[in-house]
Amino acid sequence: MSDPAPVQHFIRSIIEADLASGKHAAIATRFPPEPNGYLHIGHAKSICLNFGLALDYQGTCNLRFDDTNPEKETEEYANAIQEDVRWLGFEWNGEVRWASDYFQALYDYAEELIGKGLAYVDDLTPEAMREYRGTLTQPGRASPCRSRTPAENLDLFQRMKAGEFPDGSRTLRARIDMASPNINMRDPVIYRIKRAHHIRTGDAWCIYPMYDYTHCISDALERITHSLCTLEFEDHRPLYDWVLEHLSVPAHPRQIEFSRLELHTTVTSKRKLNQLVMQRHVTAWDDPRLPTLHGMRRRGYTPAGIREFARRIGISKSDNVIDMAVLEGCIREDLEAKAPRVMAVINPLKVVLSNYQEGVTASRSAGFHPNHPEFGEREVPISREIWIEQDDFLETPPAGWQRLTPGGEVRLRYSYVIKCEEVVKDAAGNVVELRCSIDHETLGKNPVGRKVKGVIHWVSAAHALAIEVRLYDRLFLDAEPDSHKDRDFLEFLNPDSLKVVNGWAEACVAQAEPETRYQFERLGYFCADRFDYKPGERLAFNRTVTLKDSWSR
């Protein structure tokens, strides 16, 4: 993996200072997703940051699943996350880690807090707990259970673990400060009773630790040096530090926050992505219209393009609201250099070449990329009937039109100049066929005495392969569909986010493997579908991105 030089940012400056001062001999980061959904473009930013820093500074990066909420977590999600990280080009340090690896240690540390008088078992209901917690302007009130002795709390906590009490009836809370201006420090819950089958521990536990408690201890046990998270956890940092300062853990990582990524004309909330999937507004988590990594991969986005996007948008604490065109531009730039070029017609209009002569009208070979001769060549055959794009013909064209018109000439890409002699229409007046003549003196050279400016793409009807083409566009019409307090984000769904058409492509694409990317000349970049591209049966292509940004127009 060879990417452009990284961009300096404040986290790099912190790391470099820590290494220079000898505070750390090497850095250790981690990527800690919850396996309750598929990763999206916001996670890609975090992946590139955590794994990228570890690579750049010869450190390590762990993949650790936060599996503390068993009702929403599945092996499917965990497997998909691992696949996505590797697809982006990264490899984690050692084995995959899980918060559940530390359940016994987390429980033991909870008993340590209880023994120090720093945690207590509370009987308040969730509603009462919210009332006691206070507000941003009013301090909280101590629970009546706050005065329980360590011995009493230890007994109750052990009985919670043993399953004596019903779900939700008791919690374990850290005893910190009910008057703190930071509501996160007002005796936060660190354990709750929840009888739910866990994907790894089964039914061994009926109490589960909360994320804020679990995360910092997991970091410490793994000796993470820099715990990087998004800005919504900034107010949680005092709790992160408090837990570690009061326990006999082997390390005290530093939590550092950066701004999360917000991408226009889409949503990245897992809840809303799940809603789109469950309500069938999209086909699945890997629908190419979604900002999930599985979806972007199926659409044809490249790992290098996504990594470049993450590099280009940078790391800061300021808002990171990015237009979709920036991401598409990175993908387009990567594909420009890497994708072979072929011709395909996706809105076909039949053209009959009236003076085609078998054995006289010749074919030519053409390279797959003008700047990469190592990509090789293919034969571009011609036949009496060819397909062109309907958009390349107009009976009454505007000024400056350089494509086909009645009596007009164009060059067929890699082939002859042709002239439109006759227009055939159906009963409704629609153009259904053009009859054209070939200038046989123009194969590989310009016509004598006249200039033909227009060049159009085409395919031979006798040789072309039928293809299904999925034309994907933005999923939402609004730049920020989930920012409207009085309207549902689903109201802004783009009804034209997917159009499926049937077209024709050069026969050479029959040899393509799934996920092969092409530039269909003059049309855009397309990718052979991961699952629906089956040579000899079904050739399905997904439009990855257009040749230019057309959304703003």
Residue 174: what pLDDT?
A: 98
Residue 553: what pLDDT?
A: 43
Which single residue is written with the structure tokens 């302007």?
A: 137
Q: Which residues of 122-159 are buried (b: 16+ CB within 10 A; e: fewer)?
A: bebeeeebeebbbeeeeebeebebeebebeebbebbee
Q: What global pTM score does this model have? A: 0.95
- What are the tens digits of pLDDT across the range 154-180? 999 999 999 999 999 999 999 999 999
Residue 372: what pLDDT?
A: 96
- What are the tens digits of pLDDT across the range 111-148? 999 999 999 999 999 999 999 999 999 999 999 999 99
Report the C-alpha gap between 101 and 83 in whole angstroms.
21
Report the C-alpha gap between 260 and 269 in whole angstroms.
12
Residues ≥6 apart with Cβ < 8 Å to 54: 27, 28, 29, 60, 61, 93
The per-residue pLDDT string of the chain (553 residues; one tens digit each, 9 = 90 and over) reads: 678 888 999 999 999 999 999 999 999 999 999 999 999 999 999 999 999 999 999 999 999 999 999 999 999 999 999 999 999 999 999 999 999 999 999 999 999 999 999 999 999 999 999 999 999 999 999 999 999 999 999 999 999 999 999 999 999 999 999 999 999 999 999 999 999 999 999 999 999 999 999 999 999 999 999 999 999 999 999 999 999 999 999 999 999 999 999 999 999 999 999 999 999 999 999 999 999 999 999 999 999 999 999 999 999 999 899 999 999 999 999 999 999 999 999 999 999 999 999 999 999 999 999 999 999 999 999 999 999 999 999 999 999 999 999 999 999 999 999 999 999 999 999 999 999 999 999 998 999 989 998 999 999 999 999 999 999 999 999 999 999 999 999 999 999 999 999 999 999 999 899 999 999 999 999 999 999 999 888 999 999 999 987 645 4
Report the C-alpha gap between 155 and 514 in whole angstroms.
59
Q: Which of 34, 257, 328, 409 is catalytic?
A: 34
Assigned token pair, 217: 């201890």
**In the 8-state DSSP scheme, what is residue 485?**
T
Report the C-alpha gap between 233 and 256 in whole angstroms.
9
Report the C-alpha gap between 328 and 346 in whole angstroms.
21
Report the C-alpha gap between 217 and 149 in whole angstroms.
25
Assigned token pair, 90: 């990264």
How wide is the angle at C-alpha 273 spanned by C-alphas 269 and 274, nearest 5°? 115
Which single residue is written with the structure tokens 């329980």?
A: 148
Helices (H), 410-519: none
> Residue 19: in which H helix or E strand, if any?
helix 10-21
Report the C-alpha gap between 460 and 42 in whole angstroms.
44
Report the C-alpha gap between 270 and 66 in whole angstroms.
15
CATH architecture assigned to 10-97+214-265+303-330 = 3-Layer(aba) Sandwich (3.40)
Whether 192 is a known active-site residue: answer no
The total number of residues shown for the chain amounts to 553
- What values do phi and psi take at 521, rounded to 5? -55, 130
Whether 522 is a known active-site residue: answer no
If we measure between CA atoms, which residue out of 387, 340, 415, 341 comes closest to residue 503?
Answer: 387
Report the C-alpha gap between 172 and 119 in whole angstroms.
7
Report the C-alpha gap between 443 and 208 in whole angstroms.
74
Torsion of CA 318, 324, 330, 333, to 10 degrees: -150
Residue 550: what pLDDT?
A: 60
Q: Which of 270, 297, 311, 411 is catalytic?
A: 270
Q: What is the full DSSP assignment across 417-462?
A: EEEEEEEEE-TTS-EEEEEEEEEGGGTTSPPTT-----EE-EEETT
Helices (H), 177-282: 211-221, 237-245, 270-278
Whether 260 is a known active-site residue: answer yes
- The listed CATH number (2.40.240.10, 1.10.8.100, 2.30.110.10, 3.40.50.460) that belongs to domain 352-458: 2.40.240.10
Q: Which of 45, 237, 254, 260 is catalytic?
A: 260
**In the 8-state DSSP scheme, what is residue 509?**
G
Report the C-alpha gap between 32 and 441 in whole angstroms.
66
Q: Domain locations in the chain?
A: 10-97+214-265+303-330, 103-210, 352-458
Report the C-alpha gap between 287 and 294 in whole angstroms.
8
Report the C-alpha gap between 289 and 474 in whole angstroms.
7
Q: What is the full DSSP assignment across 118-146?
A: -EEEE---HHHHHHHH--SSS-----GGG
CATH architecture assigned to 103-210 = Alpha-Beta Complex (3.90)
